[in-house]
Amino acid sequence: MSSFTSTFKIVLFGDSQTGKTTLAHRYLTNLFKESISMTLGVDFLLKAIKLEGEMVKLQIWDFAGEERFRFLFPSYIRGANGAIFMYDITNYGSLAHVDNWFEVVEKEIKSKLPLIFVGGKTDLIHLKEVSTKKAMEIAKSKGADGFIECSSKNGENVHKIFDLLTKLIMKNRNY
């Protein structure tokens, strides 16, 4: 039986239909599910990983992006060890509420929160509306610790996102 040295709470957030649930599902199962039902409130997922010789448990909180659930976000972001902000590279509008999301994070998290800015759906590059350069500028302006574009459909960079964030959390934790 494996013993875990740490459990980390990771919150996945961003507007509706950006691919957050698909990303979490792909990371947990390594499978792509064509149709996933909309998240109502929050979904809670667990994954055990070994990273840098340490067994850690990741609690992934997949937060619904719909406007009607946003009032719940402050209570779910509290206590997070790391976060992933996700937008859809094929929909410029998915960045429309970036300021609102980050305002809540800044208000609820008093210390530096390791955060990765993620552009999803790179398998639809022919439909791209958000340039990598523009997204990187926004990520930098929000103080993100990393920027990655990914595809949950083909698995590109999915594990890289969570590995990078977990390493940042491990580096950030206070003993």
Which helix (H) or strand (E) segment holds residue 134: the answer is helix 132-141
Give the whole-angstrom CA distance, residue 64 versus residue 14: 8
Residue 139 lies in a domain: yes
Question: Is residue 41 one of the residues assigned to a domain?
Answer: yes
Q: Whats the size of the chain, residue-wise? A: 175
pLDDT of res. 145? 96
Nearest Cα residue to 125 out of 153, 160, 154, 90: 90
Within-domain flag for 162: yes
Phi, psi of 93 (to 5 degrees): -60, -20
Tens digits of residue pLDDT in 37-67: 656 556 788 899 988 888 999 999 987 766 7
In a domain, 73, yes or no: yes
pLDDT band for position 175 (50/70/90)? very low
Higher-scoring residue by pLDDT: 174, 147: 147
Instruction: Establish if 44 belongs to a structural domain.
Output: yes
145 vs 110 pLDDT, higher one: 145
Residue 1: inside a domain:
no
Which pLDDT tens digit goes with each residue over 94-125? 998 899 888 888 888 877 889 999 999 999 99
pLDDT in tens, 6-30: 899 999 988 888 998 999 999 998 8
User: For residue 22, what are its two tokens?
Assistant: 């698909």
CATH number at residue 40: 3.40.50.300
Whole-number average pLDDT of the chain: 87
Our count of domains for the chain comes to 1
Q: What is the per-residue burial (b if ≥16 Cβ within 10 Å, else e) of 43-78?
A: bebebebeeeeeebebbbbbbbbeeebbeebeebbe
Residues spanned by the domain of 69:
6-172
Q: What is the pTM of this model?
A: 0.89
